[in-house]
Structure 1
Amino acid sequence: MKTNKLWIGCLLLLTMSSCDKSFIEIPPKNFISSSNFFQTQNDFIQAVNATYAPLRNVYNSAYIMGEMRSDNTHYIFNSSNRGNLVREEIADFVDNPTAAPTSEKWTSNYRVIAYANEVLLRIDAATIDEAVKKNLKGQVLFLRALAYFDLVQYFGDVPLVLKPTSGSADEIIGVQSALTRTPKTDVYAQIVKDAKEAATLLPNKLTQEKGRATIGAAKTLLGNVHIVLKQWAEAESVLKEVVSSGQYSLLPDYASVFSPANKNHAESIFEVQYLQGNLGLQSSFGYVFAPNLTNLTPLVGFTFNNQSIGGWNIPTDDLVAAYETGDKRKAASVVEGYTESGKFVAQPFIKKYFNLPFPTPNGSSPNNNDNWPVYRYAEVLLMLAESLNEQGKSSEALPHLNAIRIRAGLSATTTTNQAELRELILKERRIELAFENKRWLDLVRTGKAIEVMTAYGTKLKASGKYPNLLTSSYNVTQNRLLFPIPFSEVQVNPKLVQNPGY
C-alpha cells in the first residue's frame, strides 16, 4: 500500500559504535501532518526519533540565553562585528524581538511539541506491541514536557498546544494559527501532568536504549519543575525516588563526565545526542567556546580559522574566582589561557566541551562529538539538598550537598543554618553545573537576577574591556527577566501579545 510519508527528506536510525545500544537520527527536512503515515510500529518509532531531532537546534544556541545572559560567561570583544551581534546584545541586556537565538529556542521547542502531538494523537489506537507503545508514548510525553518547561521559563505565558493544528507545516511548527498565550500556571500544570504520566510509562535506564528518555529523566524533570514552583515537599519526594532507584551514581572523576568517549554514563540522566561525521549531526561547542583566533593551531594542533566561529560563552573573571582552592572542577571546566609563539595568553575559555584530539573538521565547519548534558545525577543531589533545606531539614540536606563537594576534592560543609546553606547550595550549583545553561534560570527563580546582574554590569563597564557597551547595557529590570516573543511570531499572529519592555 502506498504511504504518504510524514517527512520530506531522509530519516535514518543509526547505531553508534559501541557494544551498548544507542540511537541518533537525521533531523527531518520538513514535516507534513498525515494520518496515512502511521501504519506500522516502525512508523511510530521513526516519528518518535524525529521528535528528538529539534533538541539539537535548541541546545546549539541555548548557552546564549542560559549562560551569557548571566554572570558566568560573556564574549571576547571584537571591534569588527562577526555577524552575530545579537549574541552580544542578549548578553548585555539590549536585545530585541528580532534576535535569532530567541527565535530558535521558540521555533525548535514548538517543533518538538508539534511532532509529539502527532504521535500522541494516534498512538493509543495503534495496533503495535503494548510494551513498545508505552515506551514510545512515555518518550514523547517527556519531550513535550521538556519543551514546554524550557519555553515557560524563558518566555512566561506561551500558547499551550496539545493537539496537531491544521494548516501548513509553518503553522504547525510556528504555532501561527491565531493562538493566544496560555497563563503559565496552566502550562506548568500540563508539564507536571505530562511528566507524571511519562514516569509511569517509561522503562529505567538499564533497560532503555541509550539516549532515550527514561523514568529517571521524567522524575528529574518533574523534580526540577517543583523546585522552580517552590513546591519543596513534592520535589523532595520525587527526587528521592530518583536517588533510591539505584540507576545513577556520581562518576569518581568530574572531568570524565564530559568526555565524548564516555557518553550516556552512570551520572547521565538525559543528554542531547550529537555524532561527528558528515550527516549534519555533529556538535561545535569546542570551537564556538574557544577563542576567536585566525589560527587555532596552538590549541588544537592543526590549522583552523576560528575568527568567525569562536569567542562566545567565555568564562568571566567573577566565575573563575568563585572556585575554591583545591577544587578539581576548575581544571576540568576552565582553561585559563594558552601559549602562542612562546608567550602565555591569559584568555580563559571553557574546557568541558574542549576535548582533544578534535576530529577532523568538515572543511571550514566544526565536526565534534560532544553530547549536551541536560540532566545529571549531580543536579538531582543538589536539587534534593535545596528542597530539604527549604523545608527546614538542613541536616538531611548536608549529605547530598557534600557528596558533590567531596567528589570535587573539597571539605564537607557542616553548617545547618538555613540561610547559609541556601547560599552554599546556589554557589555549588553555579560551580558544579557551570556552562550547562543553568545559571540564568537559577538567578531568576531565586530572585537574585536583578541584583547580581546589575552589579556585574557595573563592574564590566568599569573594566574598560568592552567599549561597545551601550549606556543602556545592563539596565536589568523586571521586564528583562523574560525574553521577547519572536517578532516573526507576533507579526503573523497579533493575538500573541508581546512581553512588556520589548
Structure 2
Amino acid sequence: MNRYIYLFFICIGLSFSACDEDYLDVKSPDQLTGESFWRNESDAEAGLAAAYSQLECATSYWGFAEIKFTVELFPSDLIKLGNDALNYEDWFSIFNFNTTAGNTQTTQYWNIHYKGINYANQVIEKVGEMTEEQINTSAKDRILAEAHFLRGYYHLKLLLNWEKIILRDAYPKGLSGIDKGVSERTECWDFIIKDFETAAIHLPENNSIENMGRATKWTALAFLGKANLFCASETNSDPAKYYKAAKTAFEPIVAKKGDNLETSFISMFDGTNQNSDEALFELQLSTNTDNGSWFKFPYHRWLKPAGLGGWDEIAGSDFLLQEFKKEGKTAIDGRFDHRLYETLFFDDEYFNDAANPRVYSYTYKEWWDYNGIPYDKTGFRKYLPKSEDEFYSTAIGNNIPLLRYADVLLMYAETLNELDETSAAIPHINVVRARAGMPAMTGSSKSDVTKQIEHERICELAMEGSRFHDLRRWGKLNATMADHGRTGVSDATHFFPIPESEINSNNAIE
C-alpha cells in the first residue's frame, strides 16, 4: 500500500473539485477533477490510499501522538499525566472530563476521521461506477470492500467518542451536501455493522507482501464482532441478537487461528515483529522517505518519561500497576504477570539487575536518576523501540497494532459468557493468560468470568485505547473513576462535545 500512499495528496482536492457549482468560467482540459480522475485501477488504488491515509490521525509530525493518544488514552483510569502534559490546557481538560466544543485535540480527531470517511465515500461511488474496461471485477470488488471497511472503521472510532455523530454515506457534491444532522446511536451501529458485513464478503484472507497492512476478511470480521458486542451493551430491545451476531463473526477467526498467539508480547510493539500473525489490523509506519513520503513520527519521545529523556506526557497509574500485581508472583517463573514488565517500567528487581540491565543497558534506578532528577511516576515501556539507536532518534517508523487476535479471544470469551456459554469462554481466557506466563484462571461462574475478562483486558490492552470504552459499555465508568480519584465524570461528560467548527459550518446541527 505504501507505494500508493504518496498519491493521496492528489485526492485531497477531489472533494472540492467535485462540486456541482461552477466557480470558474474556463477550466483547463488537463486538470484532474472529481469526474476525470477515476480512469483505471491505478487511480482507484490511489483514491483508496487517500482513505487509508487518515488512519489513527497519523497525518502530521507533531499532531499524531498529540491527537491520537490524548483523545484515546487521557480519559482512561490506567494513566496519569506526565509533568509536561500539565502545560497543555486542552489535554488537561480531556483528562478532567471538562472538554469544551473548542478543544483543539478532539476537533482535529473529529475532522481527520471525517476526512477519511469522505475519501472512502468517493472510492465507493466513483470506483463503483467504473466499467470492466477500466478495472477488472476482482480488483474493483476488493477496493470497494476496503472502502466500506474504512468507512465503517472511521465511523466506529467516532461513535466510541461522541454520543451522536453524523452518518456520512455519500461525499458532499456541493455546499448543500454539507448540512446534515446527527443520527441516533442505534442507526449508527446498524450502519457500521452493515459496512463491516459488506467488506467481509469480498476482502481476501491474506495480503501479499506489497499489500501488507491492508484490511483482510479477518480484519472485517473482527471489527464486525466488536461492533456487535459493543452495540449489544447499549441496546435494551434485543441484546442477544447482537451477541449472537458477534459470536458468528468471531467464530471463523478463532477456528482459523486456534490458540496461536505470538510468543513475545513486547515484540509486537517495539518494532521487531511488525505485521505479526497476531495482528489483524496494524497502522503501517516507515522510516522510508522515498518520493517525499513521510510515515515516521516522534511518538516514542512523547511516550518516554523524563527519566528516559522523553517529553514526559503520560505515565502509568497506580491502579494499573496494582492491577498487574494483584495475583502476586504466580507466573510460571515466579514473577508477576509477564505483561507487567513489557508494559511498564517500575521499581523492581527485574529492572534493577546490574548484571542484566533491561532498558538500553541501564537499570531502572539509573534511568530514574537521569541528570540527578528523581522521578516519582511509573513509565510506559510499551511502544518504545527495542533498538537503542531508534530510541534516541527524533522519529521512528514502527507500526502500531490496531486490533490483535488476543483482543478477539477476550471479546469472544465475553460474548460466549453473555450468551451463558461460560464454560466455553474460559479456555480462550486461559490462552491469553498462558502467553503472559500465568496459570489458568480460578473460578467458573459467569460472574467469575466477567471479572477475569475485565482484569485481562486491562493487562493485555493497556495503552491500546479500549479501557474507557469498556468501562462505559459495562456501566462501570462513574463508580470506577470515583474509586480511582478521577472526578468530573457524569452522564453529560461520557462523550466529547461536537466540535464548534462543525456546529458553525453545518446548519443542520444546533
Corresponding residue number in structure 1 for 2:31: none
SS at match of 1:354: coil
SS at match of 2:315: strand
Structure-2 separation of matches of 1:451 and 1:218: 34
Alignment partner of 1:153 is 2:160: yes
Alignment partner of 1:270 is 2:272: no
Alignment partner of 1:93 is 2:97: yes
| CA displacement, residues 267-296 of structure 1 (integer Å, 9 cap, x when unaligned) | 0000111112553311322111112x4xxx
Corresponding residue number in structure 1 for 2:444: 416
Residues 333-482 of structure 1 correspond to what in structure 2 (within 5 A)?
333-336=343-346, 337=364, 338-339=367-368, 340-341=370-371, 345-357=375-387, 366-457=394-485, 474-482=487-495
Is the contact between residue 68 and residue 91 of structure 1 (CA under 8 Å) also seen in structure 2?
yes
Corresponding residue number in structure 1 for 2:45: 45
* Deviation for aligned residue 1:381: 0.2
Residues 74-153 of structure 1 correspond to what in structure 2 (within 5 A)?
74-78=80-84, 82=87, 84-126=88-130, 127=132, 128-153=135-160
Is the contact between residue 248 and residue 377 of structure 1 (CA under 8 Å) also seen in structure 2?
no
Corresponding residue number in structure 1 for 2:356: none
Is the contact between residue 145 and residue 194 of structure 1 (CA under 8 Å) also seen in structure 2?
yes
* Deviation for aligned residue 1:66: 2.3
* Deviation for aligned residue 1:223: 0.4
* Deviation for aligned residue 1:238: 1.0
Corresponding residue number in structure 2 for 1:216: 218
Is the contact between residue 422 and residue 444 of structure 2 (CA under 8 Å) also seen in structure 1?
yes
Q: 1:165 aligns with which of 159, 172, 196?
A: 172
Alignment partner of 1:35 is 2:35: yes
Structure-2 separation of matches of 1:14 and 1:233: 37
Corresponding residue number in structure 2 for 1:282: 296
Residues 320-339 of structure 1 correspond to what in structure 2 (within 5 A)?
320-324=321-325, 325=329, 326-336=336-346, 337=364, 338-339=367-368
Corresponding residue number in structure 2 for 1:183: 184
Q: Which amino acid aligns with 1:90?
A: I
* Deviation for aligned residue 1:122: 2.0
Corresponding residue number in structure 2 for 1:253: 264
Structure-2 separation of matches of 1:496 and 1:146: 23
* Deviation for aligned residue 1:26: 6.6
Corresponding residue number in structure 2 for 1:3: none
Corresponding residue number in structure 1 for 2:27: none
Corresponding residue number in structure 1 for 2:24: none
* Deviation for aligned residue 1:446: 0.6
| CA displacement, residues 55-102 of structure 1 (integer Å, 9 cap, x when unaligned) | 141664222232210101121235x964x2211110011221111121
Root mean square deviation, CA, Å: 2.4
| CA displacement, residues 225-274 of structure 1 (integer Å, 9 cap, x when unaligned) | 11101222211121011111349931011111213132111000001111
Structure-2 separation of matches of 1:26 and 1:41: 13
Aligned in 2, Cα 1:359/1:496: closer, same or farther, shift over 3 Å? farther
| CA displacement, residues 432-489 of structure 1 (integer Å, 9 cap, x when unaligned) | 000001111111111111111122226xxxxxxxxxxxxxxx2211011111101111
Is the contact between residue 478 and residue 489 of structure 2 (CA under 8 Å) also seen in structure 1?
yes
Structure-1 separation of matches of 2:258 and 2:119: 29
* Deviation for aligned residue 1:321: 1.1
Corresponding residue number in structure 2 for 1:67: 73
Is the contact between residue 114 and residue 154 of structure 2 (CA under 8 Å) also seen in structure 1?
yes
Instruction: State TM-score, norm by structure 1.
Output: 0.82
Structure-1 separation of matches of 2:384 and 2:391: 14
Corresponding residue number in structure 1 for 2:308: 299
Aligned in 2, Cα 1:116/1:247: closer, same or farther, shift over 3 Å? farther
Corresponding residue number in structure 1 for 2:505: 492
SS at match of 2:272: helix
Corresponding residue number in structure 1 for 2:203: 202
Q: Which amino acid aligns with 1:134?
A: D
* Deviation for aligned residue 1:123: 1.8
Structure-1 separation of matches of 2:168 and 2:409: 33
* Deviation for aligned residue 1:27: 5.1
Q: Which amino acid aligns with 2:90?
A: V
Structure-1 separation of matches of 2:73 and 2:324: 17
Q: Which amino acid aligns with 2:471?
A: L
Is the contact between residue 145 and residue 192 of structure 1 (CA under 8 Å) also seen in structure 2?
yes
Structure-2 separation of matches of 1:312 and 1:100: 17
Instruction: State TM-score, norm by structure 2.
Output: 0.81
SS at match of 1:404: helix
SS at match of 1:401: helix
Structure-1 separation of matches of 2:459 and 2:96: 22
1 or 2, which has the higher helix percentage? 2
Q: Which amino acid aligns with 2:299?
A: F
Structure-1 separation of matches of 2:375 and 2:106: 33
Is the contact between residue 248 and residue 266 of structure 1 (CA under 8 Å) also seen in structure 2?
no
Corresponding residue number in structure 1 for 2:28: none
Structure-1 separation of matches of 2:127 and 2:13: 18
Where has structure 1 moved over 4 Å in runs of 4 or more? 23-27, 341-344, 358-362
Instruction: Give the unaligned 5+ runs of structure 2.
Output: 19-33, 59-63, 233-241, 330-335, 347-363
Is the contact between residue 5 and residue 50 of structure 2 (CA under 8 Å) also seen in structure 1?
no
Structure-1 separation of matches of 2:410 and 2:495: 25
SS at match of 2:90: helix
Instruction: Give the unaligned 5+ runs of structure 1.
Output: 1-12, 16-22, 301-305, 459-473, 498-502
* Deviation for aligned residue 1:352: 1.2
Is the contact between residue 63 and residue 313 of structure 1 (CA under 8 Å) also seen in structure 2?
no
Aligned in 2, Cα 1:441/1:193: closer, same or farther, shift over 3 Å? same
Is the contact between residue 226 and residue 232 of structure 1 (CA under 8 Å) also seen in structure 2?
yes
Aligned in 2, Cα 1:382/1:142: closer, same or farther, shift over 3 Å? same
